[in-house]
Amino acid sequence: MTTPRTVELVVNGEPRAADAEPRMLLSDFLREKLALTGTHVGCEHGVCGACTVLVDGESVRSCLMLAVQAQGAEVRTIEGLGSADDMHPLQEAFWEKHGLQCGFCTPGMLMSAVELLESNPTAGRDEIREAISSTLCRCTGYQTIVEAVQAAAEKMQGEGQ
Amino acid sequence: MKPPPFDYHCPETLDEALALLAEHGEGAKVLAGGQSLVPMLNLRALHPAVLIDINRLPGLDHVSLEDGRLRIGALARHRAVLESAAVREASPLMAEAYPYVSHGPIRNRGTLCGNLCHNDPASEMPAVVLASDAEMVLQSASGTRSVGAGDFFTGMLSTAARADELLVEVRMPQAPAGQGAGFHEVSPRKGDFAYVAAGATMTLDGGTCSGVRIVCAGVGDGPHRARAAEDALEGAAPGEDAFRQAAEAATEGLDPGEDFHADADYRRDLVCSLTRRALADAASRCH
Amino acid sequence: MTRERHYIPESRQREKPKSKYFAIGHSMKRVEDTRLLTGSGTYADDVSLPNMAHAAVLRSPHAHARIVAIDKSKAEALPGVICVMTGAEAAEVTGPCADFSSPPTPQHCIAVDKVRHVGEAVAAVVAESRYIAEDACELIEVEYDPLPAVVDIEDALTSSGDAVLHPGRGDSNVAMQRTIEFGPVDDDFAQADLVIERRLRWPRSGGTPIETVGATAHYDRGTGKFTIHANTSMYNYVGWLIAVSLKVDPHRLNIVPTDAGGSFGSKLFCHKVCTLAGTLARAAGRPVKYLEDRIDNMTSGDAHGSDRLYDARLALKRDGTMLSMRLKVVDDYGAYFQYGVGQHGNAMAQVTGPYKINSVEVDLTAVLTNKCQQGAYRGFGSEVGNFVIERLVDAACEEFGIDPIEMRRRNLIEQDQFPYIMPTGNMYDSGNYQAVLDEALGMIDIEGWRKKQAAAREQGRYIGIGISTCQERSVFSATEFWMWNPNETPGFTLSSSPESVSVNIDPTGKAFITLNAPFWGNSPETMAVQVLAEKLEMDPADISVGYADSDKGFNSSGPGGSRFTVMIAGAVSGAADVIKEKMLRVASHMLEADPSDLEFRAGSIGVQGVPGKEKTLAEVALHAHYFRLDLPEDHDLTSGIDAAYVYDHPVTTMPSEDRTDLGIFYPIVGHMCHIPVVEVDVETGKIDFLDYVAVHDCGTMVNPMTLAGHVRGGTVNGIGSALYEHFHYDESGQLHNALLSDYLHPTLMETPVDIRVGHVETPSPFTEYGIKGGGEGGRMGAPPAIAAAVEDALKPLGIKVDSLPLTPKVLRGMIREAEANGG
Ligand SMILES: Cc1cc2nc3c(=O)[nH]c(=O)nc-3n(C[C@H](O)[C@H](O)[C@H](O)COP(=O)(O)OP(=O)(O)OC[C@H]3O[C@@H](n4cnc5c(N)ncnc54)[C@H](O)[C@@H]3O)c2cc1C
Ligand code: FES
Ligand code: FES
pLDDT tier at C104 (50, 70, 90 boundaries)? confident
Q: B194 with B232, same domain? A: yes
pLDDT above 70 (res C480): yes
Mean pLDDT value across residues B128-157? 97
Q: According to the model, what pLDDT value does residue B62 have?
A: 98
Q: According to the model, what pLDDT value does residue A1 have?
A: 57
- Model pLDDT for residues B165-185, shown as the tens digit of each residue: 999 999 999 999 999 999 999
Cα angle, residue C265 at apex, residues C261 and C267 outer, rounded to 5°: 55
What ipTM does this complex have? Answer: 0.98
pLDDT tier at A161 (50, 70, 90 boundaries)? low
Say whether pTM exceeds 0.95: yes
Q: C632 with C660, same domain? A: no
Nearest CB partner across the interface for C210, out of A105, A129, A143 = A105
A41 Cα: distance to centroid of ligand 2 (angstroms):
5
* List of chain A residues whose C-beta atoms are within 8 Å of the C-beta of residue C39: 36-39, 77-79, 81, 107
What is the CATH classification number for the domain harbouring C473? 3.30.365.10
Q: Which of A25, A26, A102, A130 to mutate to test the interface with C (most CBs of C within 10 A)?
A: A102
Torsion angle of alpha carbons C363, C369, C374, C379, nearest 10°? -40
Mark yes or no for CB contact B41/A23 under 8 Å.
yes
Q: C280 with C313, same domain? A: no
Q: Which of B261, B268, B277 to mutate to test the interface with C (most CBs of C within 10 A)?
A: B261
Q: C434 with C355, same domain? A: yes
Mean pLDDT value across residues C781-805? 98
Mark yes or no for CB contact A65/B39 under 8 Å.
no
Q: What is the DSSP letter of C574?
A: H
pLDDT tier at C823 (50, 70, 90 boundaries)? low
Q: Where are the domains of chain A?
A: 5-80, 89-159
Taking only Cα atoms into account, the Rg of chain A, rounded to an integer number of angstroms, comes to 16
Mean pLDDT value across residues C791-799? 97
Q: B209 with B242, same domain? A: yes
Q: B165 with B195, same domain? A: no
Q: Percentages helix, strand, coil for chain C, rounded to the nearest 5?
A: 30, 25, 45
Cα A30 from Cα A28, distance rounded (Å): 5
Mean pLDDT value across residues B219-248? 96
What is the CATH classification number for the domain harbouring C225? 3.90.1170.50
Q: B141 with B68, same domain? A: yes
Q: C770 lies in a domain?
A: yes
The number of domains in chain C is 3
- Report domain A5-80's class: alpha beta
Q: According to the model, what pLDDT value does residue C822 have?
A: 79
Q: Please report all neighbours of C, defined by 3+ CB atom pairs within 8 A.
A: A, B
Q: C71 with C216, same domain? A: yes
Q: C802 with C725, same domain? A: yes
Q: B1 lies in a domain?
A: no
* List of chain C residues whose C-beta atoms are within 8 Å of the C-beta of residue B186: 684, 686, 808
Mean pLDDT, rounded, of chain B: 97
Q: B103 lies in a domain?
A: yes
Q: C312 with C411, same domain? A: yes
pLDDT above 90 (res C261): yes
Q: B58 lies in a domain?
A: no
Q: C769 with C718, same domain? A: yes
- Model pLDDT for residues C699-712, shown as the tens digit of each residue: 999 999 999 999 99
pLDDT above 80 (res A160): no
Domain end marker among C647, C663, C695: C647
Q: Please report all neighbours of A, defined by 3+ CB atom pairs within 8 A.
A: B, C
- From the CA of C754, how many Å to the nearest CA of chain A? 7
pLDDT tier at C490 (50, 70, 90 boundaries)? confident
Q: C805 with C675, same domain? A: yes
Mark yes or no for CB contact C747/A136 under 8 Å.
yes
pLDDT above 80 (res C295): yes
- Model pLDDT for residues A83-113, shown as the tens digit of each residue: 999 999 999 999 999 999 999 999 999 999 9
- In CATH terms, the superfamily for domain A89-159 is [2Fe-2S]-binding domain (1.10.150.120)
* List of chain A residues whose C-beta atoms are within 8 Å of the C-beta of residue B8: 1-2, 22-23, 66, 68
Q: According to the model, what pLDDT value does residue C635 have?
A: 85
pLDDT tier at C495 (50, 70, 90 boundaries)? confident
A144 Cα: distance to centroid of ligand 3 (angstroms):
11
Nearest CB partner across the interface for A131, out of B8, B53, B104 = B104
Tell me the residue range of the domain where B22 lies: 7-53
C789 Cα: distance to centroid of ligand 3 (angstroms):
28
- Model pLDDT for residues C546-559, shown as the tens digit of each residue: 999 999 998 898 88
Domain end marker among C249, C281, C300: C300
Taking the CA of A102 as reference, the closest ligand is 3
Q: Which of A19, A66, A127, A128 to mutate to test the interface with B (most CBs of B within 10 A)?
A: A66
pLDDT tier at C1 (50, 70, 90 boundaries)? very low
Q: C595 with C662, same domain? A: no
Domain end marker among B131, B157, B173: B173
Q: C685 with C612, same domain? A: no
Nearest CB partner across the interface for C808, out of B186, B259, B260 = B186
pLDDT above 50 (res B119): yes
Residue A48 Cβ < 6 Å to ligand 2: yes
Q: C206 lies in a domain?
A: no
Chain B residue nearest residue A22, CA to CA: B8
Q: B2 lies in a domain?
A: no
Mean pLDDT, rounded, of chain C: 96
What percent of chain C stands above pLDDT 70? 100
Q: C692 with C741, same domain? A: yes
Q: C470 lies in a domain?
A: yes
Helical packing angle, C271-284 and C235-246, nearest 10°: 50
Chain A residue nearest residue B47, CA to CA: A23
CA distances from C708 to C29, C774, C795 (A): 13, 9, 32
- Model pLDDT for residues B51-95, shown as the tens digit of each residue: 999 999 999 999 999 999 999 999 999 999 999 999 999 999 999
Cα C263 from Cα C520, distance rounded (Å): 6
Taking the CA of A148 as reference, the closest ligand is 3
- Model pLDDT for residues C568-598, shown as the tens digit of each residue: 999 999 999 999 999 999 999 999 999 999 9
- Model pLDDT for residues A15-73, shown as the tens digit of each residue: 999 999 999 999 999 999 999 999 999 999 999 999 999 999 999 999 999 999 999 99
Q: C613 with C694, same domain? A: no
Mean pLDDT value across residues C469-480? 93
pLDDT tier at C632 (50, 70, 90 boundaries)? confident
* List of chain B residues whose C-beta atoms are within 8 Å of the C-beta of residue C740: none
Tell me the residue range of the domain where C508 lies: 33-41+498-647
- From the CA of B49, how many Å to the nearest CA of chain A? 10
Q: According to the model, what pLDDT value does residue C3 have?
A: 57
DSSP one-letter string for C122-150? EEEEEESSHHHHHHHHHH-EEEEEE-PPP
Q: According to the model, what pLDDT value does residue A134 have?
A: 97
A145 Cα: distance to centroid of ligand 2 (angstroms):
19
Q: B104 lies in a domain?
A: yes
Q: B86 with B15, same domain? A: no
* List of chain A residues whose C-beta atoms are within 8 Å of the C-beta of residue B48: none
Question: What ligand 3 atom has the least distance to the C-alpha of A139?
Answer: 2
The number of domains in chain B is 3
Q: According to the model, what pLDDT value does residue C630 have?
A: 87
User: Judging by beta carbons within 10 Å of its beta carbon (0-12, 13-18, 19+), is residue B68 exposed, middle or buried?
Assistant: exposed
Q: Is C12 helix (H, G, I), strand (E, B) or coil?
A: coil
Domain end marker among C596, C614, C647: C647
Taking the Cβ of residue B49 and every Cβ of chain A, the question of whether any pair is shorter than 8 Å is answered with: no
Cα A26 from Cα A69, distance rounded (Å): 8
